[in-house]
Structure 1
Amino acid sequence: MAKITELSKIHVPLGGQQIELQQIDHAEGGMSMLRVRIREGKRFTIFDIDPATAVQWADTMHQWANLQGTK
């Protein structure tokens, strides 16, 4: 059984989506994964991503946000 730790819940005001970030630790060991759950109405999109992918995704989002003038 995996241990799931809630990290953050974000409500997107313009689209109404709910984004949840969770850490997934499997009982068998191995690397921790970041679960990204996006809820749109009754639909869910779920990604389990590794640390390297999370860094790349976060860096890209940060660069984009900075170009928009938000910090």
Structure 2
Amino acid sequence: MTTDDPEFAKEAVTPLATLAAPWSREISFSAVEHESGLRILRMRIKEGRARFTIVDLDEATVAQMMAVMGEWSPE
């Protein structure tokens, strides 16, 4: 057994926005860049005080989601 600290991949996280959503939910978005150069958008949904859903999205998926949301929303 080793006592060395394991090395985990490093990521830089930049908070982008936090939105209040219906039914006491909060949605936050962060830009995440991994040391490998991979860029993702992290969407974190907080429900109540202790339940979280975290979804990491690549650029192509974000573009598809934006198209769907843009068609749905009249604004």
TM range (shorter): 0.7 to 0.9
Choose the corresponding residue for 1:43, options 28, 47, 51.
51
Deviates more, 1:47-56 or 1:57-66: 57-66
**TM norm structure 1:** 0.85
State yes or no: 1:4 paired with 2:8: no
| Pairs aligned (count) | 65
Structure 2: which 5+ residue stretches go unaligned?
1-9
Cα distance in 2, alignment partners of residues 47 and 58 from structure 1: 15
Cα distance in 2, alignment partners of residues 16 and 61 from structure 1: 21
Superposition RMSD on alpha carbons, in Å? 0.9
Structure 1: which 5+ residue stretches go unaligned?
none
Choose the corresponding residue for 1:62, options 56, 61, 70.
70
**TM norm structure 2:** 0.80
Would you tell me which structure has more strand in proportion to its own residues?
2
Could you say which residue in structure 1 is the equivalent of 2:29?
A: 21
Would you tell me which structure has more helix in proportion to its own residues?
1
Choose the corresponding residue for 1:52, options 33, 49, 60.
60
Q: Using the TM superposition, give the Cα deviation of residue 58 of structure 1 relative to its aligned residue in structure 2, in angstroms.
A: 1.2
Extract structure 1 runs of 4+ deviating beyond 3 A: none
Structure exhibiting the larger radius of gyration computed from Cα positions: 2
